[in-house]
Structure 1
């Protein structure tokens, strides 16, 4: 411990010294039963825990936290576990996205206000990953991300069963091709273990981003939640964070422009969620790294999709791990010159060094750059008079016939209007129509819910229609699929062109040209906007009002404007 005593640690400002305040700090911590040598200059490491019974994806975090704790102690550190708000995607209303920024504030302020030299972030369900990364980026301590891991494959009537299969069954139920009994049987088969969704939804996408960014250890993305190797990973994260503190390897040395470009390319290669666009933009802006929505177009558009995984493909996360996991994809992409292999990671090694020995065990699950699953199918950024600041689509999840399409608009004013009319047999809509949903953006809803995969009208489902062009200022779940245009910016609620689309307007989508157009003249568009009136604010008090008043648009990451940028870990000491 002699060397550590000579190194000035952040936590020593709280614990080292003979003053009354230092005495009180040590005394209060010792009430937990810690020995005196905990204050001899050992690194104090926070375990940021999003455990909650209201967030089933993260409900095994008490166990994982214990393994992290043991790793920290084994490496000579002092663990300090603390909770933060845990927004769960399925149960949180109106949407977990509304609380992502609040969670990030919780993380940021807790880290800055307390005697921590480094932190391990326990994150799983969709919004907890970007929220914890955003909060940690603003403070910039040595940081390791540890993800929840996916649940095991579902199994329904002798076949693997994933979230995409559940959405298809829901459509069959509305079309009369399935009965409630099928749904009830499937309910017990879909989520049979703890962990995040068993497909490449937003949670597993963001876990993959943590690994690709170098913030997580290798295999962070795919080890199943209930696999003993996830516990070993937790213990190794605990050991490694102590070394990161000793090496003064802060988060800004990992979360670089190169790392973010790597993540964009890996997202394309895995057929990752469109939500990654918003979340990585927000993380980059917290770290002070330039990242624009157009970078997704420039950096990721020519990267092939290598992963045959739902919702873009057939397999599920357990199959991905057993085929070799994300290290196989990273190794192949590095060898093909698609990634910055020299990017530094939390292991202290480069990205290429971490993954050099990865072996593919199933080439039908993980394809190679030389023989990809799909070509040029990563996230596409659209521009046009309907979305001058951009919109997002995942071509790999859409039926090919709809990648170039022109159709008549059918407009829904919001969620209630959609739910009321979508299955009305008298709805004037056909398979070539373009469904429009507005007032579901960051301010309009508020919180930008996952409503973008508008349900296909029941009468069209009965005709065999399985996909349509759907456009909104909302998001969609990473488990969703279809020719769905999302994140239209500016949103309708702030006067974007989406606000004045009318039934019968012609909409043109052209993925190859990255174009989304409302076929009216500029003069008519401006005339419509001139008489448009904004909707009433959805809240006039509390955090929701703060969110509405300060949230940025989707192309800027939907962060609160006063949170952009990092301010470090310094905090003034109280005077006594």
Structure 2
């Protein structure tokens, strides 16, 4: 396809650094020559930044050094000049207390790295949970042409002839181990077989949810999110990203032309149809607010009520993993199934509309990617609750929990911290019944700190040994996208700032009514008001550094947990740096 050039060489951002005959540009050119480049390598060409979230502690991105070379190959083939820039990795497995504490740091770093360097366009390389929203948030506000390169899911796990899903089967077999049903030898085998290659979790966890969302928004090459990380097609896709971003620079195809209100709505619908992670709510809202799009919890709940779950992929689905999803046709095939619900006129980064990109998509296995006539679940993956426990909202994933909890009433068993909860849960003499409602508080954006993935509270050992594997749990925390069960999450406002969850007491009756989207404590209003007057704020989590800055400016879960000063509308952006 011929490139319609809206830009001339002299219009490139990089030209402001390299083209003038002045002392400053002399320095810029000489430093590139110091790196071994000639003027012919970079003068008059789009400079393409490759923002790489690789690290040696991020197993999901272990293939990224090779993918960078593939991107560079594409950039060079298209006549651009590629430069790799490292950014914060925010790996999900090792970052404590939670990678969510650093999502906004990555967003800030990405934005400022792009703005402060001579980059005409960028390829954003991510995939592990917070890297996708962090990079996209930064890229949206930086405003230069961008294309997202998703890490891709790892291969399906395997042990003793059974396919394993990362995360989901870890929770499942950990419960069985606590019940005494898994031996040391079996546990070691599961440990070595559950994550077999580079790539993100191969369940429809947060990583695959977020890359699917960005794919549906049109910020990746069509269907790129479905390609397994170690498939040769992933290498070819990386090279295609390099080629395409050069053309995007000449076309001046900036992210504001792609990340529109309609594109966000498309992304939310697709997320619901995939059986998305509950974390998608926080990240979708944060990205939308960066783009100046008004997307609310109520909007997401409305879409959730009307969008059937079509991807039969764990944990919301029962049988399959992301590798199966890819071979069944991938995200393009799923979007084809719900095409009548999408705005197919939306522009995407390949310069074509979403409708154009779905031409030729095929469903090869209609048990993995279900038709509208035979959904996995009649509604979407998520529901938003309101009530006197969560006046600003809470989230539940109905498709991933036992339907008997859709309407449930029971006494609260309240924990003020994760260590307190963990100690009690492992006590086989804990006074608890299946009807109890487990509550963990002080685990939200400020209280966690960072809103850790503690929301899938373990089933008490006393109940595990009786054969129970689910019960109603409530928290202001998040849970892993690979988790499942009757878990109410993201309670807002959080308990740490005096939200109603802080006022709940052991034995108070809690009622969940999913049909009416209600979550309430059955406590008289005057008693709640009296408790409020007695409540005292907990001590601050941070007194200096990043944590202090985070605690002063992070918003609540219903607003996306971004920093207030980074949202669109807070004030005018700094704009382009002066070159002097």
Q: Same fold, TM exceeding 0.5?
A: yes
Give the whole-Å Cα distance in 1 for the aligned partners of 2:398 and 2:254. Answer: 37
Aligned to 2:538: 535
Aligned to 1:380: 383
Counterpart of 2:333 (choices 328, 333, 337) is 328
Aligned to 1:251: 255
Alignment of 1:19-30 (within 5 A): 19-30=22-33
Give the whole-Å Cα distance in 2 for the aligned partners of 1:124 and 1:261. Answer: 21
State the SS of the aligned residue for 2:357: helix
Query: Does residue 1:301 correspond to 2:305, yes or no?
Result: yes
The structural deviation recorded for 1:40 is 3.4
The structural deviation recorded for 1:565 is 1.8
Give the whole-Å Cα distance in 2 for the aligned partners of 1:570 and 1:500. Answer: 45
Aligned to 1:513: 516
Give the whole-Å Cα distance in 1 for the aligned partners of 2:451 and 2:345. Answer: 36
Counterpart of 1:205 (choices 209, 226, 247) is 209
State the SS of the aligned residue for 1:283: helix
State the SS of the aligned residue for 1:301: helix
With normalisation by structure 2, the TM-score equals 0.97
Give the whole-Å Cα distance in 2 for the aligned partners of 1:38 and 1:223. Answer: 32
Query: Does residue 1:223 correspond to 2:239, yes or no?
Result: no
**Contact 2:430 / 2:462 at 8 angstroms: preserved in 1?**
no
Aligned to 1:33: 36
Give the whole-Å Cα distance in 1 for the aligned partners of 2:239 and 2:192. Answer: 32
Counterpart of 1:500 (choices 503, 511, 517) is 503
Alignment of 1:312-391 (within 5 A): 312-313=316-317, 314-334=319-339, 337-391=340-394
C-alpha distance 3-204 of structure 1, shift in aligned 2 (>3 A)? closer
Give the whole-Å Cα distance in 2 for the aligned partners of 1:359 and 1:41. Answer: 42
**Contact 1:161 / 1:190 at 8 angstroms: preserved in 2?**
yes
Query: Does residue 1:179 correspond to 2:183, yes or no?
Result: yes
State the SS of the aligned residue for 1:409: strand
**Contact 2:377 / 2:399 at 8 angstroms: preserved in 1?**
yes
Aligned to 1:194: 198
**Contact 1:282 / 1:558 at 8 angstroms: preserved in 2?**
yes
The structural deviation recorded for 1:570 is 2.9
**Contact 1:4 / 1:41 at 8 angstroms: preserved in 2?**
no
Give the whole-Å Cα distance in 2 for the aligned partners of 1:514 and 1:53. Answer: 43
Stretches of structure 1 lacking an aligned partner (at least 5 in a row):
none
Counterpart of 1:234 (choices 238, 250, 255) is 238
Q: Write the deviation string for residues 105-130 of structure 1: whole angstroms up to 9, x where unpaired.
A: 11111111000111000001101111
Alignment of 1:273-312 (within 5 A): 273-312=277-316
Instruction: Give RMSD over aligned pairs.
Output: 1.4
Query: Does residue 1:457 correspond to 2:460, yes or no?
Result: yes
The structural deviation recorded for 1:299 is 2.4
Give the whole-Å Cα distance in 2 for the aligned partners of 1:484 and 1:356. Answer: 39
Query: Does residue 1:419 correspond to 2:422, yes or no?
Result: yes
The structural deviation recorded for 1:467 is 0.8
Q: Write the deviation string for residues 207-252 of structure 1: whole angstroms up to 9, x where unpaired.
A: 1011101000122111111000000000001111111111111001
The structural deviation recorded for 1:523 is 1.4
The structural deviation recorded for 1:182 is 1.2
The structural deviation recorded for 1:180 is 2.2
Counterpart of 1:67 (choices 57, 70, 74) is 70
Give the whole-Å Cα distance in 2 for the aligned partners of 1:6 and 1:230. Answer: 31
With normalisation by structure 1, the TM-score equals 0.97
The structural deviation recorded for 1:574 is 5.2
Give the whole-Å Cα distance in 2 for the aligned partners of 1:152 and 1:22. Answer: 48
Give the whole-Å Cα distance in 2 for the aligned partners of 1:403 and 1:377. Answer: 15
Aligned to 2:528: 525
Give the whole-Å Cα distance in 2 for the aligned partners of 1:557 and 1:3. Answer: 35
Aligned to 2:120: 117
Aligned residues: 573
Give the whole-Å Cα distance in 1 for the aligned partners of 2:163 and 2:74. Answer: 35
C-alpha distance 3-208 of structure 1, shift in aligned 2 (>3 A)? closer
C-alpha distance 569-324 of structure 1, shift in aligned 2 (>3 A)? farther
Q: Write the deviation string for residues 60-84 of structure 1: whole angstroms up to 9, x where unpaired.
A: 1111111111111111111111001
**Contact 2:477 / 2:490 at 8 angstroms: preserved in 1?**
yes
Aligned to 2:173: 169
Stretches of structure 2 lacking an aligned partner (at least 5 in a row):
none
Give the whole-Å Cα distance in 1 for the aligned partners of 2:478 and 2:170. Answer: 19
Q: Write the deviation string for residues 85-141 of structure 1: whole angstroms up to 9, x where unpaired.
A: 111111011110001111111111111100011100000110111100011111111
